Structure formats: structure tokens, C-alpha cells
Amino acid sequence: MYQATLSRRSYRFSDLRQLMAKASPARSGDYLAEVAADSAEERMAARITLAEVPLKTFLQQLLVPYEQDEVTRLIIDSHDALAFAPISHLTVGDFRDWLLSEQADSAMLAQVATGITPEMAAAVSKLMRNQDLILVAKKCRVITRFRNTIGLPGHLSVRLQPNHPTDSLQGIAASMLDGLLYGSGDAVVGINPASDSLPLLEKLNHMLDDVIQRFAIPTQSCVLTHVTNTLRLIERGAPVDLVFQSIAGTEAANAGFGINLALLAEAQQAALSLNRGTLGNNVMYFETGQGSCLSSNAHHGVDQQTCEARAYAVARHFSPLLINTVVGFIGPEYLYDGKQIIRAGLEDHFCGKLLGLPLGCDVCYTNHAEADQDDMDTLLTLLATAGLTFLIGVPGADDIMLNYQSTSFHDALYIRELLGLKHAPEFADWLTKMHITDDLGRLRDTAANHPLLLALQGEQP
């Protein structure tokens, strides 16, 4: 039992799970799950109480039972006690103060990352203002490699997302080349297919690989189909670079996705066996999003932001090249408006980076949410200031297959110019070699006989 008194009123919280939920910033998903604070005063009482909880408590009072949940078992069994030692004496409030101190520099944050559990990260985020989330995330350095180097300080990568509602190879190729000519694609060229047809998925893999190999592009491709489909594609000899899967923070929610830890491990080993990376062997790509556990009735009474942070434990176990939160994609039932989406995006980025992950973000919203592109401009700018690993690039910011609003190739140009952010270095060299950018990284005018344009027309360069 936890309790606090505010304005002569006593507030009681039955356990750590309820305390965490009541301390969360207001969001529609927690109200839907009936775990949110009933008032701003109760929320503040919960935060004051949470600040006094020792970090060690999260290793003893588990929010999701160990016996019932393999994600909990992963978190506890893989906890690095040596990495935790420098912060093991802190309370949640002390942890916030330490994270904001000069002592917690990039090297120290990397040293303690494997000692921080998702619940610890989620707890401290609930005590932080937006500026706190930005400042600490900026100090976290996470670098991954496959065919290029992602996550270097002062750099920002872009996933080129050339989706098409009918999986038209010509339509996908047009969007892909459009993005490349705008300098996008150094994170990954990743397609969300409309179909689960293995022959079609195989064609998509070959098309992406053909373009990458033909023009010697230092990037990687991914067809974002279910992990079991990717395993079949590998068995069929398809040129698979990255294995994709949506993941969540509880065993039951992952079961709703048709996955478990053993299946992800099998897929990782299959991808590693192909040995397609030239600079590194980070072969996994994960997507997450607040609300996924609630939408599958698999949240165990845990607030949605803490469930999201638990998904990062799954991702961390498999050393991904990329992971991104699709922050506004699940809908207003979970994040109602621009204010909630912005806060959730900053929380997700902070927690992921703190846990040692290459966290990116699909800065996005659905058309029935109380949000607009100005809100996305705000979130993009805040995240990039906070050291975002990568964002999504969609033609015109409008994904015509998934039917939602994201960020465009032009948005990537804006944020690079605003903050002086660079492409992955290997990709930057390729852009210069292909006369897409000049020596300073600025876009050049593209002539009609550019090799990429001729390729789109089916001509030989």
C-alpha cells in the first residue's frame, strides 16, 4: 500500500502497478482501461509518492507476474546487476535528478543502460517535464550497423516508406526513387505490403535488392511482413536484409501478434546466417506503439506507457538495427489529440534511448484524431532536438496504403537544415557520388538523364 496526503486529502494506491498508472500523464487509453488518475490532484499525489520509491523495488514488486509472462522473465533474468550498481541506491526521484546532472554523461548512461529495467525508465519518465525527456535522451548514444552506420551524434536517418495500396512494383519503385532523389533512405527502404502472398513478397524483396545492388546504395531493405513470412522467404532464397516484427510489452499481447521470444530468436539466427551485412550484424527491425497491449486486452492493469517501455526489453534482447514507435498510428482511443501524441512520442524516445535502443519515431496521426500536421511539425522538431535516430519518409506525408498521416521527404530536408543534421556517413558519400547532393550535403537539381530517373523509365543508365 502506498499513500500520500494533498490538500488535507489522503490518497491510497493499492500496489506499485496502480501507483504507476495514476502517476501517468493523462491519456485516453488509460481512461479506457480504467487505470488513470481521477483528477490532476490524484495524479500529483501519485507522482509525489512514486518519487520516493527505491529503484530496487522494481526488481521485487513485478507489475506483471513472473510466472505468467515471458517478457517479465526476460526483464528479470537478463537484468545486469553490475550495470545497475552505480544507481541501485537511488529512488525514482533521485534517479531523475541524477539523469539531469552532469555526472550522467553519454558514457555513464551507456554504462548503466543494461541495469535499467523498462519499469524504472517508465517510472522516472512520469516525473519528467518534456524538456527533461529531451535533455536526457539527447545524451544517450546508440549506434548500430548493417550496410551503414546509424545513430552517430549529429546525424539523422530516414526510413524511405514507398507503400502502395495494390503493391504495384512500378508504383513502389516510383516512390522509392523519388525518396532517394530527396536524400531519404539511409535507415532502410521499408515496404508495408498490402498482401501476404509469398510470391509477391518475394518479388518485392528482389526488386528492392536489385535497386540497392545495381546502384551500390549503402543501405538495407525490409519488407514489413509477419516474421513467419520472412522465415519462409529466407527458406525460398529471397534476399532478406532485415527481419521485421511488431512487438508489445506482454507475452499475451505478443501472442496476439502471433509471436513469442523463441520465434524471434529463430528469425534472428536465420537472418544472421545470410551474412548480408557489410559493416555490422544488426538484422532486426521492430515497431511498437502505446496502446497495443490494451487493444488486445493483454495489459494486466498496467498503464499503456509502461507496457510500451516493456516492449523495449524485447527489442533490446535482439540487438536491432532499428526500432520505432508508431506513436499516433493506433488511434485516438489511446492517444486522443496532438498534446497526448507529442508527450507519448517524447516518452517513448526517452525510454528507448535510456534502455540502449536505436529509437526512431513514426511521427504520425490518424485522420480521426484531434491532431494535425502542425502538431507533427512540433513533435518532429522536439524529437530531432532530442537526438532521434530516424524518422519516416512518405511521399507527401500521406501514406496511401496504410491511410494515415506521417512525415515526408521534405520534412526530413527541413529538420536537417534547421539543426544541421547529417545522413549516415556512407549514404552521404553515395549521395555525393550520385550527384544528388553537393559536397555540403545540399540537394542538387536533378537532370532528366539522371541514372535513377532512367531506371524508373526502364532504360539503361
- Label residue 460 by pLDDT band (50, 70, 90): very low
> With contact defined as beta carbons under 8 Å apart, do 6 and 267 qualify?
no
Amino acid at 370: E
The whole-number pLDDT of residue 271 equals 98
Q: Per residue in 64-118, pLDDT tens?
A: 999 999 999 999 999 999 999 999 999 999 999 999 999 999 999 999 999 999 9
Phi-psi region of 216 (alpha: psi -120 to 50; beta: other; left: phi over 0): left
Q: Per residue in 315-370, pLDDT tens?
A: 999 999 999 999 999 999 999 999 999 999 999 999 999 999 999 999 999 999 99
The number of beta carbons lying within 10 Å of the beta carbon of residue 461 is 11
pLDDT (average), residues 144-163:
98
Measured between alpha carbons, how far is 248 from 211 in angstroms, rounded to an integer?
33
The whole-number pLDDT of residue 8 equals 85
- Label residue 461 by pLDDT band (50, 70, 90): very low
The whole-number pLDDT of residue 140 equals 98
Q: Per residue in 412-428, pLDDT tens?
A: 999 999 999 999 999 99
The number of beta carbons lying within 10 Å of the beta carbon of residue 9 is 11
Helix (H) or strand (E) holding 308: helix 304-317
As given in the structure block, the three cell numbers for residue 327 are: 506513436
- Label residue 456 by pLDDT band (50, 70, 90): low
Could you tell me how many residues make up the chain?
461
Percent of the chain's residues with pLDDT above 70:
98
> With contact defined as beta carbons under 8 Å apart, do 162 and 430 qualify?
no
Q: Rounded to whole angstroms, what are the CA distances from 115 to 3, 102, 111, 350, 416? A: 28, 19, 8, 16, 33
As given in the structure block, the three cell numbers for residue 404 are: 494515415
Supply the pTM of this predicted model. Answer: 0.96
Measured between alpha carbons, how far is 396 from 257 in angstroms, rounded to an integer?
30
Measured between alpha carbons, how far is 69 from 202 in angstroms, rounded to an integer?
35
